[in-house]
Chains A and B, each alone.
Chain A
Amino acid sequence: MAISITSVERERSRATLLSPVEFKLQTDEVSLDEAVKVSVRAKLEGGLVDAFRRATWQEAYAAHDILLRLQFGMSIRSGGQLFGKTIVSAKWVKKGILFWTRDANLTDNVTNMIWAMAADENGYNHFFEDEQGVRDFLFTFTRELSFLPVSLGRGEHRLHAEVFVKWWRHTYIERGQVAARSPSISLKVR
Chain B
Amino acid sequence: MVLSQEYEEKKTVEYNVIKKTQSICPECNRILPATIFERDQKVYMTRTCPDHGETEELYYGDYQMYLKFSSYWDDGKGTMAPNVAIDNCQCPANCGLCSNHLSHTGLANIIVTNRCDLTCWYCFFYVKKGLEGAYVYEPDHEQIRNMAKALKAERPVPGNSIQITGGEPTLRDDLPEIVRILKEEGVDHIQLNTNGINIALKPELAKIYRDAGVSNLYMSFDGVTAKTNPKNHWEAPYAIDACRKADLGVVLVPTVIKSINDHELGGIIDYAKQNIDIVRAVNFQPVSLTGRMSKKEREKYRITIPDAIKRIEAQTNGEVTADDWFPVPSCSPITHFIESLTHKKQYELSIHFACGAGTYVYMSKGKLVPISQFVDIKGLVEYLDEKADDLNSGSNKYMTIAQAALRINSFVDKKKQPEGLNLGRLLFNALVRHDYSSIGQFQMKSLFLGMMHFQDKYNQDEERLQRCDIHYLTPDLRIIPFCSFNVIPEWYRDRVQKKYGMPVEEWEAKNGEKLEDRLYRGQLRKVRPGMKAEAPTCATAEIYQKVSNLG
Q: Which residues does A use to contact B, with CB under 8 Å?
A: 1-2, 61, 64, 66-67, 69, 71, 93, 97-106, 109-110, 113, 117, 119-120, 122-130, 133, 137, 168-169, 175
Q: Is B533 an interface residue (CB 8 A)?
A: no
Q: Is B517 an interface residue (CB 8 A)?
A: no
Chain A residues near B102: list those with CB within 8 A: 100
A128 and B392 in contact, given A69-B385, A69-B386, A117-B1 (Cβ under 8 angstroms): no
- Min Cβ gap B7→A in Å is 6
A110 and B87 in contact, given A105-B20, A123-B71 (Cβ under 8 angstroms): yes
Contact assessment for B385 and A67 in the assembled complex, using a CB-CB cutoff below 8 Å = yes
Given contacts A66-B74, A168-B392, A169-B394, 7 further A-B contacts (CB under 8 A): A100-B89, A100-B466, A102-B21, A127-B1, A127-B2, A127-B4, A130-B6
Q: Is B120 an interface residue (CB 8 A)?
A: no
Q: Which residues does B use to contact A, with CB under 8 Å?
A: 1-4, 6-7, 18-22, 33, 67-68, 70-75, 77-78, 85, 87-91, 99-100, 102, 378, 382, 385-386, 389-390, 392-394, 462-463, 466
Q: List 26 A-B contacts (CB under 8 A).
A: A2-B85, A2-B99, A61-B75, A100-B89, A102-B466, A103-B19, A103-B20, A103-B21, A104-B33, A106-B20, A109-B88, A110-B87, A110-B88, A117-B1, A120-B2, A124-B71, A125-B70, A125-B73, A126-B1, A126-B4, A127-B2, A127-B7, A129-B6, A133-B4, A169-B389, A169-B393
CA separation between A23 and B260, bound complex, in Å?
Answer: 60
CA separation between A122 and B4, bound complex, in Å?
Answer: 15
- Min Cβ gap A180→B in Å is 22
Other-chain residue from A61, A109, A168 in contact with B389 (beta carbon distance below 8 A): A168
Contact assessment for B67 and A124 in the assembled complex, using a CB-CB cutoff below 8 Å = yes
Q: Ordered nearest first, which 9 A-B pairs have the shortest CB separation?
A: A123-B71, A103-B20, A168-B389, A169-B393, A175-B393, A125-B1, A109-B89, A168-B393, A102-B22
Chain A residues near B90: list those with CB within 8 A: 109
CA separation between A87 and B219, bound complex, in Å?
Answer: 59
Other-chain residue from A69, A93, A104, A129 in contact with B7 (beta carbon distance below 8 A): A129
Chain B residues near A168: list those with CB within 8 A: 389-390, 392-393
Contact assessment for A126 and B2 in the assembled complex, using a CB-CB cutoff below 8 Å = yes
A97 and B22 in contact, given A124-B1, A124-B2 (Cβ under 8 angstroms): no
Chain B residues near A66: list those with CB within 8 A: 74-75
